[in-house]
Amino acid sequence: MELLAPAGNVEKLAYAYQYGADAAYIGLKKFSLRVKADNFYADEYKAVVALKKQFPDRSLHCALNIAFHNREIDAFLAQIDYFKQYPIDAFIVQDLGVVPILQKHFPQAHLHVSTQASVMNREAVKMYQSLGFDRVVLGREVSLAEVREIKDAVPDMEIECFAHGAMCIAYSGRCLMSAYLTGRSAQSGFCSHTCRWDYDVLADAKKIAESGALFLRERKRPDALFPVYEGDDFTAVLSSKDLRMIEHLDDMRRAGVDSIKIEGRMKSVYYVAMVTRAYRKALDALAGTITAEEAAPFIASLDEVAHRESTTGFFYGRAEADKTTVGASDSPYELAGRVGAEYDAAQTDVVFAAGADMLAAHAREREAMHPKARAAAEKDAAAHPEKCPAALQRRDGWHLYPYTSYNKTEAGTELELITPDVLKIVLGAERYVFANPKNGAIISFVNPDHDCALYTDLVIPAGALVRTKDTGYEDGVIRKTGR
């Protein structure tokens, strides 16, 4: 089975490929159902082309899955020459109006039916095949038994199914709640995730809801009960659990699924890397290229990624899909940064030389002081050595890397590195130093706007991610993180 990962920007695309995706799906700004993702625009196509050359065996899918109005068709046509610069292998669409346009201007690209089209039966699959589609992303309401029936009826049509990520409470994501409550249409890519919000149950019903005995029931369907639970400051009515099928990939394969899809173009680089890596290892174990024991720790690491309670959705029956949950996604870790390719010898020499120059300049300034001022400065330095400039000093067996910070991290914080094939490596305070590569100075903390390098005794592959433990995380406790 193909592993298809999300990529909300160029960086996430690189990590999707590096951490094991066979294919990744992106969105083009204004024409994707995830407009709040960074998506792709401007001259980013150059970086995408470079990535495809770096990973020549990987595919690139483009989600062009909004419901188009006339103005949006016109806008797409006006920019079509720009979009042709992307090395797109397949388009994911729900609106049949764009099909002739894509067939004319992108004759080599495959056509995939979006899950937004709610394809759930063999006759619909046959119809889309007759229109030139090569693959259908089945609606999430389809069971594995139905997948098998569809595959048997249309064996030469590729079947793609979501296997992991957030589930929409609406039918294949076609929701009107967001537009109703906020004026932001989910069908134009502006979903405000109103189904995840916390709602109050008013009046005396609150006490009943707190008991767990309150249900929603449509009056003409007395046997269909929908539980409502009132917590301390919220009510969960519509918030679905996250989909997780990593333990059931063999069932998906035997049902005829050709591609498993991870949801999450709006998720973080850390999410993309960790989830893609876990499913890569699970698929490799299924194929027999690694053992189940080797894959198990990577699968277990999914709990270290932001998530809600999980479910198998509709794959084994509706009962699981009907279960709701409360709270936002949460994780015991925060993404701290990423490590670049190691500085070569010449680059390293430049950093150390800059540090020596900095110390020499400081010494000259000290010498130029009036003797009394110099004595006072030396006394203060002895009392507060942390104020004194410190430069990197060479250590045998240590390596220097460019470091991109995503969150403020204090020097001395225990770091954990993850790579595509290493579960984690712990770096204690004694094993690394943060430095400014421009002047060679040792620095006490890093921020996203800092120039930073990581000096360590560890050999680190380029693209390794660095995480730190979230001190505010409590296992089993839902934190108040807002909407």
Rounded mean pLDDT, 339-360: 95
Comparing CA positions, the residue from 99, 131, 102, 135 lying closest to residue 119 is 135
Q: Look up residue 385 and give its two tokens.
A: 């050595």
**C-alpha dist (Å) from residue 157 to 110, 113, 136, 194, 347:** 12, 11, 7, 35, 52
- Return the H-helix or E-strand segment holding 410: strand 409-410
Q: For 245-257, how does the pLDDT look when each residue is reduced to its tens digit (9 = 90+)?
A: 999 999 999 999 9
Residue 128: CB atoms within 10 A of its CB come to 22
Instruction: Please tell me the predicted confidence (pLDDT) of residue 123.
Output: 98
DSSP 272: H
Above 80 in pLDDT, residue 171?
no
The whole-number pLDDT of residue 453 equals 97
pLDDT for res 202: 54
415 in Cβ contact with 427 (< 8 Å): yes
Percent of the chain with pLDDT over 90: 62
Instruction: Give me the phi and psi of 92, to 5 degrees please.
Output: -105, 115
Other C-beta atoms lying within 10 Å of the C-beta of residue 78: 9
Residues 6+ apart with CB under 8 A from 261: 4, 25, 137, 160, 161, 162, 163, 164
Look at the block and give the residue holding tokens 């201007």. 105
Q: Check residues 131 and 203 and name the one with the higher pLDDT.
A: 131
User: Left (φ > 0), alpha (ψ -120 to 50) or beta: where does 427 sit?
Assistant: beta
CA distance 456 to 426: 12
Residue range 214-261, pLDDT digits in tens: 676 666 667 766 666 555 544 455 667 889 999 999 999 999 999 999
When mean pLDDT is compared across 102-106, 158-162, 386-390, the lowest value belongs to 386-390
CA proximity to 465, closest of 100, 89, 1, 16:
16
Residue 449 pLDDT class (50, 70, 90 cuts): confident
Cα angle, residue 387 at apex, residues 382 and 391 outer, rounded to 5°: 105
| Contact criterion met (CB below 8 Å) for 159 and 258 | yes
Q: What is the pLDDT of residue 266?
A: 83
Cα separation, 222 vs 224, whole angstroms: 6
Written as six digits, the tokens of 92 are 């994911």
pLDDT 10s digits, 307-327: 888 899 899 987 777 776 766
CA gyration radius for the chain? 27
Tell me what pLDDT residue 177 has. Answer: 57
At 134 the pLDDT is 97
Global confidence as pTM:
0.83
SS3 assignment, position 192: coil
Of 410, 412, 418, nearest in space to 432 by CA: 412
8 Å CB contact between 27 and 63: yes
Q: Which residues of 438-469 are buried (b: 16+ CB within 10 A; e: fewer)?
A: ebbbbbeebeeeeebbbbbebebeebbbbbbe
Query: How distant, in Å, are the alpha carbons of 5, 81, 260, 286 from that of 295?
Result: 18, 44, 17, 10
Backbone angles phi, psi at 192, to 5 degrees: -100, 10
Question: Under 8 Å CB-to-CB from 65, ≥6 apart: which residues?
Answer: 32, 33, 92, 93, 94, 95, 114, 116
Reading phi first (left if > 0) and then psi (alpha if -120 to 50, else beta), residue 77 is in alpha
Question: How many Å apart are CA 57 and CA 243, to the nearest integer?
Answer: 28
Crossing angle for the helix pair 292-300 and 269-287, to the nearest 10 degrees? 160
The letter for the amino acid at 313 is G
Mean pLDDT across 151-169: 92
Give Cα 429 distance to the centre of its chain: 29
Report the chain's terminal Cα–Cα distance, integer Å: 35
Rounded to whole angstroms, the Cα distance separating 230 from 224 reads: 20
Greater pLDDT, 106 or 449: 106
Q: How far apart are CA 79 and CA 313, in angstroms?
A: 38
Average pLDDT, the chain: 86
User: What value does the mean pLDDT take over residues 273-290?
Assistant: 98
What stretch of H or E contains 346? helix 345-367
For residue 82, give the 3-state DSSP assignment.
helix
**pLDDT tens sequence across 456-483:** 999 998 889 999 999 888 876 666 654 4
pLDDT at 225: 66
φ, ψ (nearest 5 deg) of residue 416: -125, 125
Segment 43-47 shows an average pLDDT of 89
Q: What does the block give as tokens for 215? A: 């249900």
